[in-house]
C-alpha cells in the first residue's frame, strides 16, 4: 500500500495561514473519518494535533484545524508562529484493517 | 504522569529475531489501544502493528509485517511486545510505541528504541 500523498514542503510568514493536504483513496481517507495529524520536531516523538478529521485534543492550540473533502484531508494552521516550524504527518485508517501515514510535510516559517 | 518507555532495540544481523518491549507507567495499557510505529532514518512514519483498545484481542498489521511480526500484550506486567522475525536491512528504524484512547488517534508516544539490521 502506498503512503498518503502530502506536499514535501510548505512555507508561510508569521501571522499567515497555511494548509497541508493529505490525499488518499476511497479505501482510506475517503471511506473513514479516522484521519489524524501529527507534528514532529527533529529528534522528538510525534505529537497528536488532530484526530477524527477535525477534533483537537485538549491542549492543542485552536490555530490548528482539520477538514476533509472526498479523498483529501487538510490541516490548516492559522496565525502562523515560529514554533509551528516542524514536520507534519497525516494518517488514515484503511479498509484493510491497517493504518497509512502520509510521507510528511516540512513546514518552514519564513 | 502517563508515560511509555520502549526497550529492546539494538544491532542485529539480517535474518535474526528481536523482541521490543513497551512499558507503561501512570496508567493501565489494557485500557487503551497500543501500537508500534517506526521511522527509518530521515524518513516518515510507518505503521507496524497494533492491538485494539479496552483489552480487546483484535490486532492490526501493516502488509510488510504480516507473517513476520507479532504484537502481544502482558496485562499483568503492563507491557506490550513486538516480536520481529527474519529481520531485513529495511527494518532499520526508530520504533515507537503509542497508545490511542480513541480509535487510531495516537495521543501518547514513547521516545522510541533504535533497531539496526546490518551484517
The answer, yes or no, to whether residue A1 has pLDDT greater than 70, is: no
**Averaged over B71-83, what is the pLDDT?**
93
> How would residue B71 be classed by pLDDT, with cut points 50, 70 and 90?
very high
**Averaged over B97-102, what is the pLDDT?**
90
Question: Mean pLDDT in chain B?
Answer: 93
The answer, yes or no, to whether residue B28 has pLDDT greater than 70, is: yes
| CB spacing of A100 vs B112 below 8 angstroms | no
Among candidates B44, B47, B103 on the partner chain, residue whose Cβ is nearest the Cβ of A98: B47
The answer, yes or no, to whether residue B56 has pLDDT greater than 70, is: no
Which of chain B's residues have a Cβ under 8 Å away from the Cβ of A48? 105-107
Compare all CA atoms of chain A with the CA of B39 and give the residue at the minimum distance: A45
Q: What is the pLDDT of residue B52?
A: 86
Cβ-proximal residues to B51 (8 Å cutoff; 6+ apart), any chain? B33, B34, B35, B57, B58, B59, B60, B71, B72, B73, B80
CA distances from B33 to A95, B22, B54, B91 (A): 18, 13, 7, 23
The answer, yes or no, to whether residue B55 has pLDDT greater than 80, is: no
Of A1-5, B35-39, B57-61, B100-104, give the range with the top mean pLDDT. B35-39
Q: What is the pLDDT of residue B102?
A: 84
Compare all CA atoms of chain A with the CA of B46 and give the residue at the minimum distance: A101
> How would residue B54 be classed by pLDDT, with cut points 50, 70 and 90?
low
Compare all CA atoms of chain A with the CA of B58 and give the residue at the minimum distance: A97
CA distances from A85 to A13, B45, B52 (A): 11, 18, 33
Which of chain B's residues have a Cβ under 8 Å away from the Cβ of A91? 45, 47, 104, 106
> How would residue B97 be classed by pLDDT, with cut points 50, 70 and 90?
very high
Amino acid at each position: 500500500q502506498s503512503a498518503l500523498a502530502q506536499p514535501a514542503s510548505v512555507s508561510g510568514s508569521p501571522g499567515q495561514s497555511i494548509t497541508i493536504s493529505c490525499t488518499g483513496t476511497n479505501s482510506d481517507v475517503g471511506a473513514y473519518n479516522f484521519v489524524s495529524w501529527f507534528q514532529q520536531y527533529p529528534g522528538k516523538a510525534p505529537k497528536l494535533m488532530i484526530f477524527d478529521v477535525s477534533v483537537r485534543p485538549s491542549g492543542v492550540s485552536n490555530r490548528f484545524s482539520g477538514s476533509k473533502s472526498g479523498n483529501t484531508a487538510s490541516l490548516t494552521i492559522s496565525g502562523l508562529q515560529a514554533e509551528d516550524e516542524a514536520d507534519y504527518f497525516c494518517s488514515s485508517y484503511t479498509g484493510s484493517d491497517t493504518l497509512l501515514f502520509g510521507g510528511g510535510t516540512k513546514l518552514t516559517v519564513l | 504522569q502517563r508515560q511509555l518507555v520502549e526497550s529492546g532495540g539494538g544491532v542485529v544481523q539480517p535474518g535474526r529475531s528481536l523482541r521490543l518491549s513497551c512499558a507503561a507507567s501512570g496508567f493501565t495499557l489494557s485500557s487503551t489501544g497500543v501500537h508500534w510505529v517506526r521511522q527509518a532514518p530521515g524518513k516518515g512514519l510507518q505503521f507496524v502493528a497494533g492491538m485494539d483498545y479496552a483489552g480487546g484481542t483484535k490486532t492490526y498489521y501493516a502488509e510488510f509485517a504480516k507473517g513476520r511480526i507479532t504484537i502481544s500484550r502482558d496485562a499483568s506486567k503492563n507491557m506490550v511486545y513486538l516480536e520481529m522475525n527474519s529481520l531485513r536491512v529495511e527494518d532499520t528504524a526508530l520504533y515507537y510505541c503509542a497508545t490511542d484512547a480513541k480509535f487510531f488517534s495516537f495521543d501518547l508516544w514513547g521516545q522510541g528504541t533504535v533497531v539496526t539490521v546490518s551484517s
